[in-house]
Structure 1
Amino acid sequence: MDKLKQFSSQAVYKLARFMYGRNGYDNLARFCNMISIMLLVLNLFAGSATIYILWFLSFGYSLFRVYSKNIPKRYEENQKFLSMTELPRRYLSLLKLQIRDRKVSRYYICKNCHQQIRVPKGKGRIEIRCPKCSEKFIKKT
């Protein structure tokens, strides 16, 4: 058992030394991995060479990003990806909050400034004032 622990700690140490100075696993690499897993599952049912090539390219690009030593370039690409996907990620975050608090709260978006507003559920028709722009609107909770 001690040899197994020693081997695993040495493997972790060697992996950490290998990854030193490399980009690592960022959001764009994670997205490419998710796409490649979906393509792989789709290819199990379809059996298409095109899907296999797309899977190979997606997975290869993900590995390239993880092991790349050109960190400033990969950082710039990741920031561009994050800025392009900001709206969908914000929407999914709001959806996650709505699902989590669905029993006690309702979420509304201000039409004027697009601020997210949480109000208690079950209060009937109430007037909601946006804390950011002071816009008032009436909604049923």
Structure 2
Amino acid sequence: MLEEYRWLASLDVLRLECDGMTRVISALLQRDGIAHRPMAGRLNVEAAGQIEPHYWIELDDGRHIDLRARMWLGDKPGVPHGFVPADAAGVRYEGSAFEVQANPIVFWALTDTTIEAFGSPDFLKVRAQAG
């Protein structure tokens, strides 16, 4: 769990909105061979409102990675942040997958560093194998 927190924290400090964040996370997951789908669509949170357009990552186990819903909906209870269970109460993601090409130049432009500088999300591989 600590490894997940550290990995998310290293991303959360980036000055990116949801589209750039989704591209960066997808590039990291691609780098390490972790199955996922970058998604574009809308997010509806019963307690806070709706964001459209919105971008996030969908993992094969049904969870989402979303680090920017609070940017638009605030830090209210129920607004997702980090790894979001597929069945999170009052949270509905609707969208379509899109393709992200992992490109080192684009990654540098978005993060001001190299993809190698970021830690590996290998803990996601361990979870997928255990499940």
TM interval, short-chain normalised: under 0.3
Query: If each structure's helix is expressed as a fraction of its own residues, which one has the higher value?
Result: 1
The structure having more radius of gyration, on CA atoms, is 1
Normalising by the residue count of structure 1, what TM-score does the alignment of the two structures yield?
Answer: 0.22
Normalising by the residue count of structure 2, what TM-score does the alignment of the two structures yield?
Answer: 0.23
Query: If each structure's strand is expressed as a fraction of its own residues, which one has the higher value?
Result: 2
